[in-house]
Structure 1
């Protein structure tokens, strides 16, 4: 049996105070494994900027997954366009994507005429509650990025999510497309909050 010890990090609390450490741990683990892509969630651009600073002197490509246009307000993209332009000019890929673990399902489950949760929402809630909110976000961003063709599905990536804002969960994931969800594998949890 072959086993290589690697570092796993636990944050005392979830949230944005962990973002810089999460970025550092992401790059560290990517370099240890020879992973060339980091996928990170960022809704307003601050997390994306922190991760860009962490990867800028490496050979690692950064893929930022943002909320879709209209997520909070019809017709509005909450990610600042000036930050998107700045990052894209530096080679960062910015992906706008519908939440694969809710999207249309939320419209139906929140409708009083239809009511009830869906199987997709049950998967999201299981990831969110049994491990970490950031794991759900990391998995969802991986699916979105794969569906947009921004990452290959045959190579491991580092995927990063957070609890509300910032980054606090770092994973090594073998991606899949949403339609093949159960082919996705969370292979390592590099960092996560202990208390949620």
Structure 2
């Protein structure tokens, strides 16, 4: 039997205060495994900027996944247009796609005419509650990025999500497209909050 011994980090609390450490742990594990890409969730652009600054000169590729247009308010994109332009100019790929683990399903479950939960939302809620909110976010971002062609499905990536704002969960994922969800594999949890 062979095994690998690796570091796993646990934050005392979830949230934005962990973002800098999450970036550091992401780069550390990517280099350790020889991975090329870090996929990070960012709503406004703040987390994306933190990761961009931390990754400068690392040789790693940054893919940022944002909320869809209209997520908070109809017709509006929460991500800063100025930050998006700066990141794109510096080779960062920004992906905006429908949330793979909610999207249309959420419209149905919230509807007073239809109501009730969906299987897709049950998967999302299980990831959120059993492991970490950031794990659900990281998995969803990888699905969105794969569906948009921003990452391939044959190479592992570092995936980063958070709880409400910032980054607090880092994992290694072998991607899949949403239509092949059960081919996705969370291969390592590098960091996560102990309390949710």
Cα shift at 1:99: 0.6
- 1:191 is matched with 191
Correspondences of 1:33-182 after superposition (within 5 Å): 33-182=33-182
CA deviations on 1:133-186 (whole Å, 9 max, x unpaired) are 000000000000000000010000000000000000000000000000000000
Q: Return the alpha-carbon distance in structure 1 between the equivalents of residues 107 and 4 of structure 2.
A: 45
- 1:31 is matched with 31
Cα shift at 1:55: 1.1
Structure 1 residue runs without a partner (length 5+): none
How many residues align structurally? Answer: 196
Q: Return the alpha-carbon distance in structure 1 between the equivalents of residues 75 and 129 of structure 2.
A: 31
Q: TM-score, normalised by structure 1?
A: 0.99
Correspondences of 1:7-22 after superposition (within 5 Å): 7-22=7-22
- 2:6 is matched with 6
Cα shift at 1:192: 0.1
Q: Return the alpha-carbon distance in structure 1 between the equivalents of residues 91 and 31 of structure 2.
A: 19
Q: Secondary structure at the match of 2:107?
A: helix
State the 4+ residue runs in structure 1 displaced beyond 6 angstroms.
none
Q: Secondary structure at the match of 2:44?
A: coil
CA deviations on 1:93-124 (whole Å, 9 max, x unpaired) are 00011110000000000001101000000000
Q: Return the alpha-carbon distance in structure 2 between the equivalents of residues 119 and 51 of structure 1.
A: 33
Cα shift at 1:52: 0.4
Q: CA RMSD in A?
A: 0.5
Q: Secondary structure at the match of 1:99?
A: coil
